[in-house]
Chains A and B, each alone.
Chain A
Amino acid sequence: MELSTALRNVLADAIDSDLQTTGFARFYTSGLTTLLASCSLSNPAFGTAATGTITLSGTPQDTTPAAAGTAVRLGFYRNSTDTSGLYRFMLGIATGGAPDVTMANNVIATTDTVQISSLTITVPSGTPDVT
């Protein structure tokens, strides 16, 4: 299936809109058992889609991580009060293999500052498949 650029933009903007006005990006341990760090996102969290891509606004950071531990999940939420299972989308983190996120050192200390320096999300065009 191939998507038009216009539709790709609609879908990409929908991801941004879905986070509403007070989105958070949170780092969790395995099983979403412990919240390590939480970065408050801008409103809106992303800029307007172009060619199916949205780009995170600013460089959200957490200068006072809530707990120390090994981050294996990066989830995006609508509110700081959402429980861990209420993520809108979730990324995996590992130090090797082929995860969503590759982190040289994914052990976060409470004295660290965790910063999302860039993030883009793209809805690809795809291609018509006749097989």
Chain B
Amino acid sequence: MEKKKPKTKEVTLEEFQQMPRSTPIVKATATVDVFDKNGEKKSTLTFTSEDLKDGT
């Protein structure tokens, strides 16, 4: 009996990167505050990470 070949398709890296991702891996949400020496809030940062991605 002939073995079935696995169903595969070669794609380029560019094509792979453009494929939709339906499942985010990990989502992070945070707030970080930076206060100056007088206790005044200098900066607030918030973030939401929907998925893992290349750091750029």
Contact = CB atoms under 8 A, between A and B. Distances in A.
11 contacts: A1-B23, A101-B47, A103-B45, A104-B43, A106-B43, A109-B36, A112-B35, A112-B42, A114-B34, A122-B27, A129-B22
Interface of B: 22-24, 26-37, 39, 42-47, 49, 55-56
Contacts of A73: 55
A121 B33 CA distance: 18
Interface of A: 1, 15, 56, 73-74, 90-93, 99-106, 108-109, 111-124, 126-127, 129
Given A99-B47, A104-B43, A116 B30 contact: yes
B36 A112 contact: yes
Contact of B23 (A114, A122, A127): A127
A121 B51 CA distance: 11
Contacts of A111: 36-37
Given A91-B47, A103-B45, A126 B27 contact: no
B31 to A, nearest CB: 4
B56 to A, nearest CB: 8
Interface centre among B22, B37, B45, B47 (most CB of A within 10 A): B45
Nearest to A110: B37
Contacts of A105: 34, 42-43
Contacts of B30: 56, 91, 101, 116, 118-120
